[in-house]
Amino acid sequence: MKKILVINSGSSSLKFQLISMPAETILASGLVERIGMEDAKYSFESLKNKDTRVLKIKDHHQALELAAVFLLDIGSGVISSPKEIDAIGHRVVHGGKHFSDTTLITKEIKEKIHQLASLAPLHNPPNLVGIEVAEKIFPDAKQVAVFDTAFHQSIPEKAHRYAIPNELYEKEHIRLYGFHGTSHKYVSEKALTYLNNPNAKIVVLHLGNGCSATAINAGKSVDHSLGFGPLTGLVMGTRSGDIDPAIILYLMETKGYSYQEISNLLNKKSGMLGLTGFSDMREIQKGHEEGNPDCTIALEMNAYRIKKYIGAYAAAMNGLDALVFTAGIGENSSILREMVCSEMDFLGIELNPKKNNSKEKGIREIQTEGSRAKILIVPTNEELEIAKQSFKLIN
């Protein structure tokens, strides 16, 4: 038995799970939000106890120290010493072209993650902070990096290159890298096992605050909606998804927008937030039901963009055996699933409304009996996937 601590370190948050492998038993979990603020919040839960507090948490080091104290606490803890942690699996968003597999973290690996920060400035720096803090608090544990981009290294050159001068590809490594790979890998493996068809052609829709679609043929990622950075593709909570580059040039040339203003506009002020004033899908669905036209058109735009990617990926794979919904919105929004699957019978996609509105948990089918393609809801579990990959690496 090995105890694997999984850490997902964001720009202002830190999420963890302590998992016993290979039994896949969750011993403890927690989330620290609003790090650096006076009213930061942490919520921890173990097999013995729960603890939720609001207090000032100045940095990631303090956040992880609080998690360690909880894990070691006599009343709520599940370990008696930091030495009981065998490995720490870290989610690292951008591995560039260098990492196609999970890897043990060394000084050289940390330097490479640092060098790739320019490709994921909102993600790689806090990922690296999480690694460095964990090394200090759990010095005896093996540190493992699991890269979001790794699953998409199988995307062929014809799909991952952009039609720009060759030197930008060769020297600057500008290409499609893809993200949410840990989730897409976990969900696609679950789906293929459920379908009992390792060669199935499926499209996985990871729909949360960040959204992405992946074409997966026989378990391999062959195309993906997020590209050089996590901004393209589907409409997201605060990110625009696909946009005509001429708009960016127009705003810079005629309106004097700076790089930072463009970045904030497209990453933090666009998507569903820009269209409705809300980034939470529950608020948007409520607005739609109450007749708010902004919420209605936003949902229609969101679904329409998803449908275009489904069609494109079915064409790229020359077929579609299953459409898979996952992540917070994908698993819980029956309204968006219905809008996505409407008028898709040409591709063999026919939704069963009763099954779609069911509150059942776990993997389930929601298509009609006559639907040629399966429609599945498969809950994602990125932390478990990181634990599985870390466990496999250290054994």
CB 44 within 8 A of CB 67: yes
Per-residue pLDDT at 76: 67
Amino acid at 370: G
**Per-residue confidence band for 349, with pLDDT thresholds at 50, 70 and 90:** very high
**Active site residues per annotation:** 148
pLDDT in tens, 282-309: 999 999 999 999 999 999 999 999 999 9
**Per-residue confidence band for 259, with pLDDT thresholds at 50, 70 and 90:** very high
Q: How far apart are CA 340 and CA 349, in angstroms?
A: 10
Mean of the pLDDT values across residues 242-250? 97
pLDDT in tens, 92-146: 887 877 777 888 998 998 888 888 777 777 677 878 888 888 898 889 999 999 9
Peptide bond into 293 cis (omega under 30): no
CB 203 within 8 A of CB 215: yes
Least confident of 24-28, 133-137, 139-143, 340-344: 133-137
Among 216, 273, 208, smallest CA distance to 239 is for: 273
What CATH number labels 196-377? 3.30.420.40
DSSP lists the bridge partners of residue 318 as none
CATH among 3.40.50.720, 1.10.10.1100, 3.30.420.40, 3.40.50.150 for 2-147: 3.30.420.40
Residue with tokens 């930008």: 168
CB 191 within 8 A of CB 204: yes
DSSP-derived pairing of the beta strands 374-377 and 211-217: unpaired
Cα-atom radius of gyration of the chain, to the nearest Å?
Answer: 21
Evaluate whether 2-147 and 196-377 have a shared fold: yes
CA atoms within 13 Å, Cβ hemisphere of 306: 30
Among 52, 57, 3, 59, smallest CA distance to 27 is for: 3
DSSP 82: G
pLDDT in tens, 217-229: 999 999 999 999 8
- Whole-structure pTM over 0.85, yes or no? yes
DSSP-derived pairing of the beta strands 322-326 and 201-207: parallel
Per-residue pLDDT at 60: 83
CB 159 within 8 A of CB 225: no
Q: Where are the domains of the chain?
A: 2-147, 196-377
pLDDT in tens, 40-65: 888 999 888 888 888 888 888 888 88
Residues within the annotated binding site? 8, 15, 91, 206-210, 280-282, 328-332, 382
User: How many percent of the chain have pLDDT more than 70?
Assistant: 99
